[in-house]
Amino acid sequence: MSGKAYERFNIHHRIQHIMMFVSFFICTFTGIAIKYDQSSYARAFTKLLGGFENLLAVHLVGAAIMLIGSCLYHLLYLIAYVIITRKISFEALPTLKDFKDLYQNLKYFLGLSPEKPKFTRFSYKEKFDYWAVFWGIFIIGGSGLMMWFPDIAAKFVPRYIIDASRAAHSDEAILAIVVIFTWHFFNVHFNPDFFPGSLVWFHGKLTEEQMLEEHPLELQKLKEAKGGEG
Amino acid sequence: MANRKIFLLIILSLWLISLPAGVLASTVEENFKNNDWCFKCHGAIGLKMEWDGATISLYVDPVKYRASMHGTNKCQTCHPGINTYPHPSLPSRSRFLAEVNYNCRYCHDYVVKSFAGSAHDRDNVYCYSCHTSHTIFKSIDSRASTYRNNIVKTCSQCHKGQVLESYQESFHGKAVALGSKTAANCTDCHGKHNIFLKNDLRSLTNPANIPTTCARCHVFPRKNFAQGAEHFVKKPYGNGKIVYYTEKFFVWLTISVVVLTLIHIEMELYRRYKKIKAQKALMMTGGRHYER
């Protein structure tokens, strides 16, 4: 690494991401076995864990890690960040620029334009990933809690909502699994720039070169801020 | 003298205590011998005959039968009067089946009471329809047709179609299929010998009784918890409508998101491919880095 390193993800972001992917894998391996219960994989994996009761317990442990270790932590972090630093950031919200960037990027891919879009702190790809998880947790977490505590859920919603939530839970999970293993894995693992994988999730830093390449407007902003200060 | 009397008394009582076991052992020995004689023919794999238009198997697995709950009984306990060969002539097949079935109650009289008047108390359903004829085990034995995780297979001999499919797709069904010992199988909700029609007040699935039935496992028997269809159809009409449209929505959401992201990935790869080709043509690629 040459030049200066910029911190892109602080320790909280990184812990939230680690909690998320650890629980994602736990829930995927156990959840697929429940969804496709007639498959030989389901039989073998259930046997490996020593029975369905253990399979379900592991799935629920994964769910608890995801909901508490990642999501609740993230939401509390967002609130605490604003209160403690007295700063508020709307960088992660989708803007009109994201759609322009997408259009520009597609033109660039097709060779219709030599210019790549210039991204701010978060590119439209990263915003898509973030809000996809936000929506996914809302659906999967919500429906999962309804199935985990059906007695309580039945107090507020009729039975067919709980049944529909079960369909939503596994179908949304399949969407999440497919998108993670194609879209997200391409963007951070299989992409020739990062293969076999970007380590930003681990150290949270980007070099100046990488910043210039991937987030030029953010780099400019950081430099201006620094210039203004000193 | 007193000592001798006490000694004799002890000997006598010991003999009396061991008497039933001894008699039983000799009876069992005798039954085995009797059954072995039957198995000389009926232990032959593939033994069958035509009877009233149906081909029926006359083969009984001797090893399995001896291991089963009835293994120490004589064949004649259930098939009385068949002591000789050639066998005495038999009535029609349906009468024969009904007669054999009737013999169950001479030992299992306590079941008759709860079974009487139930939905299965009819002509073409016999005890052995569920319990099998020659391979009866205790329901805690995994070989038994009435074992927790074999119940679905046993019931689905007759109860097929929507009721079976909806159960297999339900969480109860999936859990039981994967070997759960706590999730509900057919008999947990519908009863065992005491299965009645839904409108019968004795039925566990009578609307008035459903909350109590659910409460056998779900410890908070809230009234609204027990409302709604259990064996619903996932079709655009009827009680599975909401589930059907939820599923459709997510299927199309998945298809569109995956297609769009894959197109995006492919376009990016296309750009890289073009670039690499152009650079190679210019003999400019010196290493790993190239302009994206």
Q: What is the pLDDT of residue A228?
A: 59
Q: What is the pLDDT of residue B1?
A: 63
Q: What is the pLDDT of residue B4?
A: 86
Closest residue, chain B, to A129 (C-alpha): B261
Confidence of residue A210 (pLDDT cuts 50, 70, 90): confident
Question: Could you tell me which residues come within 8 angstroms of residue B218 by beta carbon, excluding any fewer than 6 positions away?
Answer: A150, A151, B225
First-last CA distance in chain B: 115
Residue B2 or B194, more confident: B194
Q: Residue A81: is its pLDDT beyond 70?
A: yes
Q: How are beta strands A205-207 and B48-51 bridged, if at all?
A: unpaired
Mean pLDDT of B157-181: 93
Put simply, whether B270 touches A (Cβ < 8 Å) is yes
Backbone torsions φ then ψ of B272, nearest 5 degrees: -65, -40
Q: What is the pLDDT of residue A179?
A: 95
Q: What is the pLDDT of residue A102?
A: 95
List, for residues B46-105, the tens digit of each pLDDT value.
898 888 888 888 999 999 999 999 999 989 898 988 888 888 888 888 888 888 899 898
Q: What is the pLDDT of residue A184?
A: 94
Whether the Cβ atoms of residue B119 and residue B197 lie closer than 8 Å to each other: yes
Indicate if the alpha-carbon torsion angle B105, B108, B113, B119 is positive or negative: negative
Indicate if the alpha-carbon torsion angle B243, B248, B251, B253 is positive or negative: negative
Mean pLDDT of A170-196: 92
Put simply, whether A210 touches B (Cβ < 8 Å) is no
Q: Residue A48: is its pLDDT beyond 60?
A: yes
The CB-side HSE value for A188 (13 A sphere, CA atoms) comes to 13
List, for residues B193-228, the tens digit of each pLDDT value.
999 998 999 999 998 898 889 888 888 756 788 888
Contact A179 B242 (CB under 8 A): no
Question: Could you tell me which residues come within 8 angstroms of residue B172 by beta carbon, excluding any fewer than 6 positions away?
Answer: B183, B184, B185
Q: What is the pLDDT of residue B211?
A: 87
Q: What is the pLDDT of residue B54?
A: 84
Contact A163 B232 (CB under 8 A): yes
Measured in residues, chain B has a length of 292
Of A42, A168, A191, the CB nearest to B178: A42
Interface test with B, best of A40, A159, A177 (most B CBs within 10 A): A159
Mean pLDDT, chain B, whole residue set: 88
List, for residues B33-59, the tens digit of each pLDDT value.
889 999 999 999 989 888 888 888 899
List, for residues B133-160, the tens digit of each pLDDT value.
999 999 999 999 999 999 999 999 999 9
User: What dihedral angle (degrees, nearest 10) is formed by the CA atoms of B15, B17, B23, B24?
Assistant: -150
Three-state secondary structure along A90-143?
A: CCCCCCHHHHHHHHHHHHHHCCCCCCCCCCCCCCHHHHHHHHHHHHHHHHHHHH
Confidence of residue A47 (pLDDT cuts 50, 70, 90): very high
List, for residues A145-169, the tens digit of each pLDDT value.
999 998 889 889 888 999 999 999 9
Mean pLDDT of B3-26: 83
Contacting residues of B for A106, CB less than 8 Å apart: 264, 267
Mean pLDDT of A47-65: 96
Distance separating alpha carbons of residues B221 and B77, to the nearest angstrom: 46
Q: Residue B6: is its pLDDT beyond 80?
A: yes
List, for residues A86-113, the tens digit of each pLDDT value.
999 899 999 999 999 999 999 999 989 9
Which strand (E) or helix (H) includes residue B226? none
Q: By three-state DSSP, how is residue A85 classified?
A: helix
Contact A109 B267 (CB under 8 A): yes
Closest listed residue to residue A23, CA positions, set A76, A60, A73? A60
Mean pLDDT of B185-191: 93
Mean pLDDT of A168-189: 94
Distance separating alpha carbons of residues B233 and B251, to the nearest angstrom: 18
Instruction: Show which of residues 45-84 on chain A sit within 8 Å of chain B, judged by CB atoms.
Output: 46, 51-53, 55-56
